Amino acid sequence: MFNTGVKELNGPTTLLEAIKYFADEDVCIRTLLAIRWPDGVIPCPSCRNTAHYYLAARKIWKCKACSRQFSIKVGTIFEDSPIKLSKWLPAMWMIHGAKNVLSSYEIHRTIGVTQKTAWFMLYRIRLAMKAGSIEKLGDDVKMDETYIGGKARNMDKHVKARQITGTSGKDKSVVFGMLERGGEVNVQHVDRPKKKTLEAIIE
């Protein structure tokens, strides 16, 4: 599933156990701590200072230098989502252990979120599985799209004519890729390389 943290998600052995186990937000935080920061909490994302303390009542860390606050969600697929970790982790457990492809309707019925929310969660978790990590890409990211398709010698005359006139994308698949400095390329197929479509993926 992911490069790290599979054993932390493997604690429960049944779906019912997983839902009960991750119902406690503190358990979710400890699980993600073991996955993300096994060597200790990261420096402050704002000023990179290593001195901070944990506010147990709010379940966040506060930097002693700049007073900025951050949670275990920072820099992950969960960061800008109001959905609680007690919903995210059972969904991840379900997808990780599923023998067949899960639908958003199954997640919606099982963990008690709307179908629209379940689709959003499923989309993000699948992207994370493809990337091998729940971490978002860093600040220094390059991106571009390209067209992939058959060779010109294998095309019909009218298709080859479109290639010459500059409308080659019509007969090829569009692949969009993002590369973080020092990391791996994250690629996916897109139906149309339109601004709205690509901005959603980048976000």
pLDDT digits (tens, 9 = 90+) for 56-115: 999 999 999 999 999 999 988 898 889 999 999 999 999 887 777 888 999 999 999 999
pTM of the model: 0.65
pLDDT digits (tens, 9 = 90+) for 145-190: 777 765 555 556 665 555 544 444 566 778 877 776 555 566 777 7
Q: Which string of DSSP letters, residue by residue, matches the chain?
A: --SS-HHHHTS-SSHHHHHHHTTSHHHHHHHHHHHH-TTSPPPPTTT----EEEETTTTEEEETTT--EE-TTTTBTTTT--S-HHHHHHHHHHHHH-SSPPPHHHHHHHHT--HHHHHHHHHHHHHHHHHTSSBPP-S-EEEEEEEE---GGGS-HHHHHHHHTT-GGGGSEEEEEEEETTS-EEEEEES---HHHHHHHH-
